[in-house]
Amino acid sequence: MDLKVTRGAGPPVSAQEVEIVERKGKGHPDTLCDKAAEELSVRLSEYYIEHFGSVQHHNVDKVLLVGGQSNTKFGGGDVIEPIYLLLSGRAVDVVDRNYEKQVPVGKFAVEHTREWLHGDLPHLDVNSDIIIDYKIRAGSTDLVGNFDVSQDVPRANDTSFGVAFAPFTDTEKIVLESEELLNSSKVKKAWPQIGEDVKIMGTRVDNKIHVQVAAAIITTETKDADEYLNVMDAIRNTVLDYAVKVTDHEVEVAVNTADSYENGLYYLTVTGTSAEQGDDGQVGRGNRANGLITPYRPMTLEAAAGKNPVSHVGKTYNVAAKEIVERVVKEHPDLSQVYCYMVSKIGAPITEPQAVNVELYGECDLNAIRKSVESVTKEVIAKLPDVWKGFVKREHQLW
């Protein structure tokens, strides 16, 4: 393994003049696709372990959502053209060569998806507002064979890379945690009008942070325009009250600025997601594995959700890189910023990446902490053969 600990060039993001951060919430069409892919992977993994003793080869990381059509009005409305959700990819579909025991891939794709959707989007009628379909085939012979070679130290399923950074800036914390707050049970209990499709964009220019919130409002919970305006104030105040606890920067919050009250235009949904009315979604177009979209940080376009948890480095390396940077920052709090880049080589053991670069920012003696950083990195990489257990238990954030 070629491991390099280097000094980063330039100021950390927190010291730069401009910063942009985005998060797509749990009800956003792209996020729904990510979760659909990962939930299917987890359900397949559970079945494989129960019936075959180990996770079998699969990659179900291709999910497409086609938005539906709805009529909305204060106090009511309905979905007139259902959302269409297509889960696709590759998966082992038999557990013996005689085809005597089929893996119920289709059942998991449809029924399990319907189950978690019912919990995540309580205003969505999973029997009539959405069509769930699947096109999942067996994997290619070479990739399945590569997967089966060794289960002790799996071989990389792809040539890919993972990246991570720490710590979060104030802007990043506000964007991530504001969405989580607006979708929390506490806020939903106080303001049931707020749907699950919440998207937040944070923009910091110098010492001022602008937080733009797009929140789908549920028609059946909102009786009229006056109540809608009260909800807008509640969202604005909730985010602002939280943000001022996080940062000393000046913060302003705007909500649903595409509304035009004089023309009767409001962001209303029947189901709580914009997917009901023409907004489409796809795996990998939303949040990265740390929950954010951060153009001022290193990112990978790899979609972690839905990939097999054992050997697909496009998934495991992102989680490993995240653990490395978080541990390095914790052990060396004087560092202002830490980046980690990990690249694999297909067919090589996942514990032998092609290269790893840990990049440090801040006033520090690089030689004095190099061994410490190398030790953390090697320890995390050595644990990679067991990382799949955390994915099956849903312990790792992936979007």
Residues 114 and 126 sit within 8 Å (Cβ to Cβ): yes
- Structural domain ending residue among the three candidates 233, 254, 282: 282
DSSP per-residue letters across 183-196: TSHHHHHH-TTEEE
pLDDT band of residue 96 (cuts 50, 70, 90) is low
Q: List 155's β-bridge partners, or say none.
A: 349
Q: What is the CA radius of gyration of the chain?
A: 22
Answer with the residue of higher pLDDT: 55 or 102: 55
Residues 300 and 259 sit within 8 Å (Cβ to Cβ): no
In a domain, 399, yes or no: no
Q: Are residues 276 and 351 in the same domain?
A: no
Q: List 209's β-bridge partners, or say none.
A: 204, 251
Q: For residue range 188-245, what is the model confidence (pLDDT) as tens digits?
A: 999 999 999 999 999 999 999 999 999 999 999 999 999 999 999 999 999 999 999 9
Q: Are residues 265 and 291 in the same domain?
A: no
pLDDT band of residue 316 (cuts 50, 70, 90) is very high
Q: Are residues 189 and 278 in the same domain?
A: yes
Q: Of the candidates 175, 247, 268, which has an alpha carbon nearest to the alpha carbon of residue 213?
A: 175
Distance between CA atoms of residues 316 and 337, nearest Å:
22
Dihedrals phi, psi of 196, to nearest 5 degrees: -80, -20
Q: Is 234 exposed, middle or buried, given 0-12, 13-18 or 19+ CB atoms closer than 10 A?
A: middle
Residue whose structure tokens are 């061994």? 371
Q: How far lies 359's CA from each of 15, 164, 335, 371, in Å? A: 17, 10, 10, 14
Counting DSSP H helices and E strands in the chain, the numbers are: 10, 15
167 preceded by cis ω (within 30°)? yes
- Structural domain ending residue among the three candidates 261, 282, 303: 282
Give the pLDDT score at 150.
Answer: 54
> How large a percentage of the chain has pLDDT more than 70?
95
In a domain, 380, yes or no: yes
Parallel, antiparallel, or unpaired for β 208-218 and 250-255? parallel
What's the number of domains the chain is made of? 3
- The one-letter code for the residue type at 167 is P
- Structural domain ending residue among the three candidates 233, 258, 282: 282
Q: Are residues 137 and 33 in the same domain?
A: yes
Q: Are residues 342 and 199 in the same domain?
A: no
SS3 174: helix
In a domain, 397, yes or no: no
Q: Are residues 206 and 353 in the same domain?
A: no
Q: Are residues 370 and 299 in the same domain?
A: yes
Give the pLDDT score at 95.
Answer: 64
In a domain, 398, yes or no: no
Residue span of the structural domain in which 366 resides = 2-17+159-168+285-392
Task: Output the domain CATH number for residue 353.
Answer: 3.30.300.280
Q: How far lies 46's CA from each of 229, 315, 393, in Å? A: 46, 18, 9
Task: Output the domain CATH number for residue 252.
Answer: 3.30.300.340
Mean pLDDT of the chain: 94
In a domain, 148, yes or no: no
Task: Output the domain CATH number for residue 85.
Answer: 3.30.300.10
Q: Are residues 216 and 350 in the same domain?
A: no
In a domain, 89, yes or no: yes
pLDDT at 17 > cutoff 60: yes
Q: Are residues 112 and 204 in the same domain?
A: no
Distance between CA atoms of residues 258 and 214, nearest Å:
9
Q: How far lies 145's CA from each of 57, 97, 307, in Å? A: 9, 15, 17
Q: Are residues 101 and 128 in the same domain?
A: yes
Angle between helices 313-331 and 366-382 (to 10 degrees): 140
Angle between helices 225-246 and 170-182 (to 10 degrees): 140
Q: For residue range 360-380, what is the model confidence (pLDDT) as tens digits?
A: 999 889 999 999 999 999 999
Structure tokens, 59: 């990659």
Residues 304 and 387 sit within 8 Å (Cβ to Cβ): no
Q: Are residues 301 and 241 in the same domain?
A: no
In a domain, 149, yes or no: no
Q: Are residues 113 and 59 in the same domain?
A: yes
In a domain, 154, yes or no: no
Residue whose structure tokens are 């590759």? 90
